[in-house]
Amino acid sequence: MAKEEQLEGSDVVFDLINFLNSSPTAFHAVDEVCPWKWMLYIIGAHTDSPCLKLKLISKVTKGGYLEVGVQTYGGGLWHTWFDHDLTIAGRVIMREGKDAYSHKLVRIEEPILRIPNLAIHLDRNVQDGFKVNTHGHLVPVLATTIKAELNKVVAGNGPVDSEDDKEKSNKITNTDDSRHHSILLQLLATQLGCEPDDISDFELQACDTQPSTIAGAMKEFIFSGRLDNLCMSFCSLKAWPYKLPFLVRDQLVTPRIPSV
């Protein structure tokens, strides 16, 4: 009996790990809920966590680097965001035809951003205390300006076999009026299977690429971010299918995600 309970408990832990790894943003967490069905009763739980959200105009170029402007969301431990392999995830609004729009969830798996710490010999007083300046310090690095310009040259001078190819090339190189770096839009478009110009707007955030995992010498800990909020959401979802009636997905309206 004890062995069966242990196996059942292990299944719940692995389900939680999968839920955490599938939910880098609140949008993804809500999307994970849908296949579980929605209930007639309401259970209050957070789905969002403190994070760095991309600004409406995120394009920052400084000191030979392409950087991404972000703003803090919630009361986070912002010093923990330094020197991590970061990526972006969230929701994108896409054009579909002349007057039609749709939204899709997006998540770039590989690390594309980093907020670096300053080398110790350039800041000897850091050991006396480091206070994060959220406007000056929390600016993730995306690429170098040199590499970005070289990519523009390659895109502009590469073989163009048709008018469609020429139009695609112009979309990549024409970025003067963009609110966001063209390389960032191109990464999103590649992930979504569309063109950069099809992206009308988005709500994206930086997130850690390090996955949640079971750890410790005795495998008794869960190492993960966003545990405070997503853990209660997961427990609520686990209770629903066995104890409460439900509505099918098609009868539901997507809920509004509240602030922290």
Q: How far is CA 43 from CA 99, 170, 239, 240, in A?
A: 37, 50, 10, 9
- 129-134 — which CB contacts under 8 Å span 24+ positions? 130/79, 132/78, 132/79, 134/71, 134/72, 134/78
CB 71 within 8 A of CB 55: yes
Tell me the pTM.
0.75
Q: How far is CA 17 from CA 12, 111, 146, 241, in A?
A: 9, 20, 40, 19
54-67 confidence digits (pLDDT tens): 999 999 999 999 99
Close Cβ partners of 2 (under 8 Å, ≥ 6 residues apart): none
Count Cβ atoms below 10 Å from residue 122 Cβ, excluding itself.
8
Residue in this structure with the two tokens 């076999």, named with its chain if needed: 161
Distance CA 241, CA 38 (A): 9
Mean local confidence (pLDDT), 21-30: 87
Tell whether the model's pLDDT for residue 9 goes beyond 60. Answer: no
238-260 confidence digits (pLDDT tens): 776 554 444 444 444 444 433 33
128-174 confidence digits (pLDDT tens): 888 889 999 999 999 999 887 777 655 555 554 455 544 544 444 44
